[in-house]
Structure 1
Amino acid sequence: MSAEKNNITGYFRALDELKSSDPEFARFFIHFAFDEVVNHAPLEPKTRMIVILATLLGCQGLELYRDMLPVALENDVTPVEAKEIVYQAVAYLGMGRVLPFLRVTNEIMQERGIALPLPPQATTTLEDRGEKGLQTQVDIFGKRMRETLNNEPAETRHIREWLAGNCFGDYYTRNGLNYAQRELITFFFLAAQGGCEAQLLSHATGNMLVGNDKSFLIRAVSQCIPYIGYPRALNALRCVNEAAEKLNKIKE
């Protein structure tokens, strides 16, 4: 039994309820989620918690997120990092789904005596966010991103420009998380919400390009199975395998 398991079960209010009302289910879920999964090819605790927070945002697991955020903060996820995960989720999930998580995050931080607002993390302005966002896309995915923007039809070019300026310029350029962490949380926003396999494949590739290799992503997906179930996890693994195959062919 890991120290992390004790932290998690200590905060998991749902588990206390289920131990009384559904003891058999609670017993095998706890064993699977907090022994079997945690201890199989484990991730470093901080990384694991970052992945789980992003996954819970993606699958709209607000009540579990409420229990998990304090655990994340006790496993070296900083308040700035936690907020950056929530902020970036807006680009992939929409404000309609993220606002409740932002409110819960603020509540928990205030309960823990964390002063809000947190220090600013922006590195762009309204004037340069488009170019810096596009450069970030190029840094992660390669020069083809400029060609993609230039070749976009006029009627949809604004969306590509928003993708560069808003998604990447407003979020990815911020301090608090590095490119590898931002690509990782994006992957799990997409994997957990489902139905985004085309984008999931692109971001599986992006992860590998910034150093989150196939083995690492498989371990990360494995850690999320208790929270998103097998179908979405298997879809994510298929995208990981496909991205790895494509990159290997490019290298050959």
Structure 2
Amino acid sequence: MSLTENAKKYHERMFPGYESVAIKKDPEFIERFDNFAYDEVVNQPGQELPDKTRWMAILSTLIGSQAVVMYERLLPAAMNFDVTPIEIKEIVYQATAYLGFGRVLPFLDATNKVFEEKGITLPLEGQATTTPENRRELGTQAQVDIFGEGMKDYWKSGPEESRHINYWLADNCFGDYYTRTGLDYAQREMITFCFIAAQGGCEPQLTAHASANMNVGNDKKFLIKVISQCLPFIGYPRSLNALACVNKAAEKN
């Protein structure tokens, strides 16, 4: 068995002029993986995604599954498929709300390392649109825009002892991240779906964000494409769980 022509061409687009060392050490495995991930999956009829969208989803999935080594290796490839430095930083920043900074820090460090190696000046241009005074209000508006009018007063709902967490969802999760420029709501909901699907064990939240994706235009067919294109990097169990959540959300919608 050897690499298909499609896999070779795709790999050349990922890493122009690079000769794989891994295929010399583990030829049978790499041939099977590359032919699957970079030919069969990419070219599956009806499951194709635009290059940039596919790589944004893959980067988000790698962060969600804590695959920092592969993230660092594939980050230059994502940039070769036109994912911009600002879009990459926005993906990493938003992951903090869904994974926590302890799990995101290695990816922030890896991103800065790759950027510096490529001569990209840091910090990048700021993307914040809120202030300490209006972040809760604008965060609530983002929740309403994405989930519907039922979120208008969610920030002050719930038992008194835990009401502050709903407030934080408005001012921090949505007010600090979703209000930033660099990505639109549809892109932010897609990467959130990938973060949650990849980490596993958060199916109620995954179903809710599958529904939110549908609200902002990322329909069931689109989400199945995202799952399909990320499957080589996330594995079958979490991909099947994500598919079940999408089906559940579609039934409710």
TM-score, length of structure 2 as denominator length: 0.93
Whether 2:66 is the aligned partner of 1:51: answer no
Q: Distance in 2 between matches of 1:136 and 1:4?
A: 37
User: Equivalent residues in 2 for 1:169-184 (5 A)?
Assistant: 169-184=175-190
Q: Quick one: which amino acid aligns to residue 128 of structure 1?
A: N
Aligned to 2:71: 65
Which of residues 13, 18, 21 in structure 2 aligns to 1:16? 21
Structure 1 contact 138–145 (Cα < 8 Å) conserved: yes
User: Which sections of structure 1, spanning at least 5 residues, go unmatched?
Assistant: 248-252
Residue correspondence of structure 1 range 10-159 to structure 2 within 5 A: 16-17=21-22, 19-40=23-44, 41-159=47-165
Identity %: 58
- Which letter does structure 2 place at the counterpart of 1:22? D
* In 2: Cα distance, 1:53 partner to 1:22 partner: 24
Deviation at residue 147 of structure 1 after TM alignment: 4.0
CA contact (8 A) 2:12 2:18 kept: no
Q: Is the 8 A contact 1:11 1:67 kept in 2?
A: no
- What is the match of residue 250 of structure 1? none
Indicate conservation of the 8 Å contact 1:130/1:164, yes or no.
yes
Q: Is the 8 A contact 2:139 2:176 kept in 1?
A: yes
Could you state the TM-score of these two structures normalised by the residue count of structure 1?
0.93
1:227 correspondence with 2:233: yes
Matching residue within 172, 189, 200 for 2:206: 200
The farther-off stretch of 86-95 and 20-29 is 20-29
Rounded to whole Å, the distance in 1 between the matches of 2:209 and 2:41 is 24
| Count of residues paired in the alignment | 245
- Taking a change above 3 Å as real, the CA distance of residues 78 and 9 of structure 1, as seen in their structure-2 partners, is closer
Segments of structure 2 that go 5 or more residues without pairing to the other structure are 1-5
Q: How far, CA to CA, are the matches of 1:24 and 1:37 in structure 2? A: 18
**In structure 2, C-alpha distance between the alignment counterparts of 1:38 and 1:101, rounded to whole Å:** 25
Give me the whole-angstrom Cα distance separating, in 1, the residues matched to 2:36 and 2:120. 33
Q: Would the aligned equivalents of 1:80 and 1:118 in 2 still touch at CA under 8 Å?
A: yes
CA RMSD of aligned residues (A): 1.6
